Amino acid sequence: MTELRKRHYLDYNATAPARPEVIEAVAETMRNVGNSSSVHAEGRAARAIIEDAREKLRALVNAPVNGVIFTSGGTEAIHYAINGTVKNGTARRIFVSAIEHAAVPSNAAASGAPVETIPVTESGVVDLDWMRERLKKHDATEDGGFLVCLMYANNETGVIQPVREAAEIVHEAGGLLFVDAAQAVGKIPVNFVMSGADMMAATGHKFGGPLGVGALIVAPNLPLEPVMRGGGHEMNRRAGTSNAPAIAGLGKACEIAAASFDKWTRIEALRDRMQDAAEAAGARIWGKGRQRLPGTLSLSAAGFASQTQLMAMDLAGIAISSGSACSSGKTKPSHVLAAMGASEEEATSAIRVSLGWASTEDDAEAFIREWPAAYARVKARAA
């Protein structure tokens, strides 16, 4: 009998394995019956589970009281933040950083408001000088309010953005700041209040929670037009029967994450070993030298096409990505790397390797062993 090759999952930025405690929390809640909007005992029990999870997420990111609105995930939270401010007239223009997840520019373009792109530097950090000068020209009295969209940490390179500094610039010019923190929450300490953000998106499945649940975190008294109407769910801000099992799982993931940040030092050390091996083999590392998510490694390898790398690693039992999970099946070069000044060859030979809470030394060693060897074979054939 042929022995099955051991698999090594290195695509945590796409989705992380659910933690065992999360699976149990979801299963236990599914064993119960009760709609959280009902007033009977069963309904009150479901409501208590939801509010407990809300408090755990609120505590994890230091969100305001009543500031957590549960959604179906990060994309819905992004949709709500953008459309909720455009539809009520709060934002008449949208500024989007050039490295945002595709859900941000897509929803901005569909909102009906004019959209402008904020450039980034070669290191993958938003250009604060450009932002400052452009927003000085925006007259909120004549031009109306505006919304700036800047992610907390990039999903491809892992580069952490200067959110606090951006918030100061945006607020001085009279605008609002929306931060997509889907990749950051649960992996690094995120403090909503201290960040200066007016709105922030989070999702559970990036750090060991369930798929299909997330949240939009909002500042106190921030007016938002509901984009899903019906009953009075989520403080009349997001209609639809609450997904109590998924929310319970998200709460458990938040509880565990809050007590586990010190463990990410080990993940960062594994990432750095993989980075050293790839760089020694001839790869270019994106975001090197900048503050990054501890488990994210983005690299390009001249002459080694992204899709070829994905297939070679998959055959070697290693799961990686060529970029955002929402677009990695496409052959279009990464818009993130293009914004950072990457050549076409660099953009089309880029991959993303990402570790997380369950990653092991064995996983890192597999990449260190297999990827340089695969690249060496490619260069030998081209010689």
Given 102, 140, 302, 326, the catalytic residue: 326
Q: What is the largest CA-CA distance in the chain?
A: 75
Neighbours of 2 (CB within 10 A): 4
Neighbours of 134 (CB within 10 A): 17
> CA 229 to CA 233: how far, in whole Å?
9
Strand order in the sheet with 214-218: 68-71, 214-218, 199-203, 176-180, 146-149, 93-97, 115-118
Half-sphere exposure of 191 (CA within 13 A, CB side): 5
**Can you list the positions of beta strands (E) in 33-173?**
68-71, 93-97, 115-118, 146-149
Q: Provide long-range contacts, Cβ within 8 A and 24+ apart, for 120-125.
A: 120/339, 120/340, 121/340, 122/340, 122/341, 123/159, 123/287, 123/289, 123/290, 123/340, 124/99, 124/154, 124/157, 124/159, 124/286, 124/287, 124/290, 124/336, 124/339, 124/340, 125/159, 125/161, 125/162, 125/290
Burial 198-208 (b: 16+ CB within 10 A, else e): bbbbbbbbbbb
Q: At what angle do helices 128-136 and 163-172 cross, to 10 degrees?
A: 10
Give the end-to-end CA distance of the chain in Å, rounded to a whole number.
Answer: 38
CA distances from 332 to 151, 154, 288, 307, 322 (A): 22, 18, 23, 11, 10
* φ, ψ dihedrals at 159, nearest 5°: -65, 130
Q: Which of 210, 208, 160, 207 is nearest to 180 (CA)?
A: 160
Which one-letter DSSP state was computed for residue 124?
A: S
Is position 254 annotated as part of the catalytic site? no
In which element (H, E) is residue 344 found?
helix 344-348
Catalytic residues: 326
